[in-house]
């Protein structure tokens, strides 16, 4: 077993990587929101894949990992690709209408959905207490969705709010499918084929309504590819070197990023019901992480008294 000092160093490195990853993804989502005002959501999903693909090809070449990308389980990769297209499209629709903070609040239901799906798909055992926490998390979603009395469109029960929930569901299923794929397939193959399927599949679907990309939007497309790639790289480092229970809570720093970006770019702040829903959802997620850490430590103590 690793000693305490090395474990702490690994966790610190991973936490730093997670904060960087969340920041990169927040900047990527900001670009998605800016582009969504001028291009169809499916086209933006395709552009996300196309812009990220060259960097992934360079990365695989630098790692000399081409021999690992062909031995894959294609049905699982195709499913993840389809889910990736749906997730990006729905999330773009969501952030077109909602502030980033509100979108992140609803998207944070994804970890609870992953816990639910781990039972039938991964055959994992979920303690009874976790089911109660998942239920409380869904109450938080309902609170965040609640419109203000004076304006039924002020809440998140809109096409945008429902789209973000759909994106979270797609992300959760894709994450569980990714766990299945990771048992036999390399990380490089999973990242590569996901981007290829998103670029080609979303591009084909978006082609009939394709809008020519304006010249002054090319810097945004470069930023879309770079931030997405750097975020993916940082989150891989985060979970490779540290304990998941120590790293996962820092995903919620996305709320701080969303708050800052919403204020700086769009001069908007979330409503009180959004904050209350966020507190309940984040609290539920942190409770699950803490419980999982205790269970893991108890198993480790039993195996190595």
What DSSP designation does 120 have?
T
Q: Is residue 230 predicted with pLDDT exceeding 80?
A: yes
Q: Is residue 207 predicted with pLDDT exceeding 70?
A: yes
pLDDT interval class at 152 (50, 70, 90): very low
The alpha carbon of 215 is separated from its chain's Cα centroid by a whole number of angstroms, namely 29
Q: Mention every residue, 6+ apart, whose C-beta is less than 8 A from residue 260.
A: none
Helix (H) or strand (E) holding 129: helix 128-145
Q: What is the pLDDT of residue 150?
A: 39
Q: What is the pLDDT of residue 196?
A: 95
- For residues 115 and 305, what is the distance between their CA atoms, to the nearest angstrom? 29
User: Mean pLDDT over residues 124-146, rounded?
Assistant: 78
Q: Which phi and psi angles does 148 have, rounded to 5°?
A: -75, 150
Can you tell me which residue has the tokens 């269970």? 295
For residue range 178-198, list pLDDT tens digits in order: 888 888 888 889 889 999 999
Q: What is the pLDDT of residue 149?
A: 39
Judge whether 222 and 35 are in contact, CB under 8 Å.
Answer: no
Q: What is the pLDDT of residue 71?
A: 84
Coil, strand, or helix at residue 175?
Answer: helix
pTM (2 decimals)?
0.85
110-124, 159-173, 194-208: the lowest-pLDDT one: 110-124
Judge whether 91 and 107 are in contact, CB under 8 Å.
Answer: yes
pLDDT interval class at 7 (50, 70, 90): low
Integer CA distances (angstroms), 33 to 27, 218, 269, in order: 10, 15, 16
Q: Is residue 21 predicted with pLDDT exceeding 60?
A: yes
Share of the chain above pLDDT 90, in %: 44
- For residues 179 and 277, what is the distance between their CA atoms, to the nearest angstrom? 29
């Amino acid at each position: 077993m690793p000693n305490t000092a090395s474990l702490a160093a690994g966790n610190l490195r991973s936490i730093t990587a997670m904060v960087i990853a969340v920041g990169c993804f927040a900047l990527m989502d900001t670009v998605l929101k800016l582009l969504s005002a001028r291009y169809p959501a499916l086209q933006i999903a395709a552009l996300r894949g196309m812009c990220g693909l060259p960097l992934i090809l360079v990365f695989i070449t630098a790692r000399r990992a081409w021999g690992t990308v062909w031995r894959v389980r294609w049905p699982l990769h195709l499913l993840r690709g389809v889910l990736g297209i749906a997730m990006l499209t729905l999330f773009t629709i969501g952030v077109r209408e909602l502030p980033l903070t509100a979108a992140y609040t609803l998207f944070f239901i994804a970890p609870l959905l992953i816990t639910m799906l781990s039972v039938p798909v991964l055959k994992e055992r979920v303690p009874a207490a976790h089911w109660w926490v998942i239920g409380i998390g869904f109450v938080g979603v309902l609170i965040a969705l609640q419109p203000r009395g004076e304006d039924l469109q002020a809440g998140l029960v809109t096409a945008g709010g429902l789209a973000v929930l759909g994106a979270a569901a797609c992300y959760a299923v894709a994450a569980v499918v990714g766990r299945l794929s990771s048992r036999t397939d390399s990380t490089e193959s999973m990242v590569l084929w996901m981007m290829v399927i998103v670029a080609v599949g979303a591009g084909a679907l978006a082609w009939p309504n394709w809008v020519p990309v304006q010249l002054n939007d090319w810097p945004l497309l470069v930023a879309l590819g770079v931030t997405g790639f750097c975020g993916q790289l940082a989150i891989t480092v985060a979970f490779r070197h540290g304990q998941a229970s120590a790293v996962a809570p820092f995903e919620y720093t996305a709320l701080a990023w969303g708050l800052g970006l919403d204020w700086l770019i769009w001069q908007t702040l979330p409503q009180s019901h959004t904050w209350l829903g966020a507190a309940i959802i984040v609290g539920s997620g942190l409770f699950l992480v803490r419980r999982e850490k205790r269970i893991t430590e108890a198993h480790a103590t039993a195996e190595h008294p």
